[in-house]
A = this chain, B = another copy of it.
Amino acid sequence: MSTETETKTTLRLSGNPALSLRVEPNRLINTIHETAQFGAKFQWGSRSTDTGVCRLALSDEDKKVKDWFVKEVEELGCQVKIDDIGNIFALYPGQDNSAKPTGMGSHLDTQPTGGRYDGIYGVLSGLEVLRTLKENNYVPRFPIMLVNWMNEEGARFPMSIMASSVWAGLASKEDIYRMESVTDDKPVTVEHELLRIGYKGSIPSSYESIPLAAHFEIHIEQGPILENEEKKIGVVEGVQAYTWWKIHVKGKAQHTGTTPMNLRNDALLAASKMIVKANEISSKFGGLASVGIINSGPGVVNVIPDEVSFALDMRHVEDSKLEEMIQEFQNEFPKACKESGNKLKVEFEHLHTQKATHFDKTCIQCVEESALELYGSGNYRKITSGAGHDSCATNTRCPTSMIFIPSKDGVSHNPEEYSTPEQVDEGFKVLLSAVLKYDQLRTE
């Protein structure tokens, strides 16, 4: 990590230049609605803006929003760079253009049944920052880079946080070029689609060829915490660690009517106890857990199930605690078997573990001070992201942090994803302020 030197310079944060800038109310939400035309789908309410968005990575609709984005940032005087994995970098000049730019970014692609905010809000808030600087003739000390990261969702090409991971050197570009789409009747590769829509740039995707001094990302929470606690802003300190497992329970298929309770090996009963236990473990450790998928066979009303498998997702802010949670379920699940039948067996299949992300202290401080100055101490809270974001990738290569605004009912990956125009503007101001604070305290 190249961020240590900069991280140490967090102590003398200066004043808040953003507070003196004139901002244009509601322009950002209007821009969000404007770009939602590229893939608008799934009308859920009576207003024209009550739709979701289906804008899969590298689709025709994604090309349209990319074209629109490039045009917008060029009109603001940005220099646009496109790397060879389809990330778009818009460089807004500062006073010292020889230094690395301060980054802002997120993604414009969506889930198949996506909303108008996830990712989109981050890119368009960044655009609103640049528009605000331009209108106020505010020239930052260092350049600012707005990034649209390609395929964060991993919906069409099945790897989330795809192109920011390539930029960060965490994923093989060649492997990804060959990856095939999973949402097309006739699968196509990432490289094919990059070429088809004209977004395979010439610059090698890398934190070395297109470096960033920092990365700020604003996003909807996608959870109910801020709304539930009536907070305007979440100061995101990091992203939880998570681990995915497939649990296989094997019992014995027997007739419900002819098999006494004490002679059974009911795989679904054992699995049910495990599901209850997984929830108890997560509460005990202050983590999260759920079972999102369960399959049970043979699937006959009067036959005791002999084969049950389920997918377990467990999360914790701390890697070490997540390790303890894994240990605990591996100890407890065999006990659930033992007490349910003497022939029951459980097998653990590890699918994936993602370590916790801890964002940069200076970046977090810029966000927190901005929230404090704008809205007061009662209106924000520190929070850990439950979901992954492009900032998890950038955080491995430059100081990074995130800002959350409330999501109505915690809903996301759904057409009804919603934040109010006020919440949208409130978050944007924190981004503007945090980026300018960071610009001021940078020593490079």
Contacts and interface: CB of A to CB of B under 8 A. Distances in A.
Interface of A: 221-225, 228, 240, 242, 244, 254-261, 263-264, 266, 268-269, 271-273, 275-276, 279, 282-283, 288-294, 296, 299-305, 311, 313, 315, 351, 385-387, 410-413
A412 B302 CA distance: 12
A272 B270 CA distance: 10
A47 B437 CA distance: 83
B293 A257 contact: no
Nearest to A242: B257
Contact of A254 (B256, B315, B410): B410
A46 to B, nearest CB: 23
A183 B433 CA distance: 69
B303 A292 contact: yes
Given A276-B276, A282-B261, A293 B296 contact: yes
B296 A301 contact: no
A257 B387 contact: yes
Given A263-B228, A311-B301, A313-B301, A258 B292 contact: no
Given A261-B288, A386-B256, A294 B282 contact: no
Contact of A387 (B228, B255, B283, B351): B255
Nearest to A269: B279
Specify how many copies of this chain sit in the oligomer: 2
B222 A255 contact: yes
Given A244-B301, A301-B351, 17 more contacts: A225-B258, A225-B260, A242-B302, A255-B387, A256-B313, A258-B387, A259-B288, A261-B288, A261-B289, A268-B291, A268-B294, A269-B275, A273-B276, A292-B300, A292-B303, A292-B305, A301-B311
Nearest to A305: B292
Contacts of A291: 268-269, 305
Nearest to A404: B258
B223 A289 contact: no
Contact of A256 (B259, B290, B303, B304): B290
B263 A225 contact: yes
Nearest to A244: B301
A225 B264 CA distance: 11
Nearest to A273: B276
Contacts of A302: 242, 244, 290, 292, 313
Most buried by B among A293, A296, A305: A293
Contacts of A385: 257-258
A250 B300 CA distance: 22
Given A301-B244, A303-B292, A410 B225 contact: no
- What 9 A-B pairs have minimum CB-CB distances, sorted nearest first? A223-B258, A257-B386, A258-B386, A272-B272, A272-B275, A256-B290, A301-B311, A222-B258, A256-B313
A113 to B, nearest CB: 10
A115 to B, nearest CB: 13
A412 B412 CA distance: 48
Given A225-B263, A294-B294, A294-B296, A258 B301 contact: no
Contacts of A224: 254, 258-260, 263
A293 B299 contact: yes
Contacts of A261: 279, 282-283, 288-289
B410 A259 contact: yes
Nearest to A222: B258
Contacts of A223: 254-255, 257-260
A110 to B, nearest CB: 15
A300 B293 contact: yes
A223 to B, nearest CB: 3
A273 B273 CA distance: 8
Given A293-B296, A301-B244, A275 B268 contact: yes
6 contacts: A223-B260, A244-B301, A255-B412, A269-B279, A292-B300, A303-B413
A202 B290 CA distance: 62
Given A254-B223, A293-B300, A288 B275 contact: no
B410 A263 contact: yes
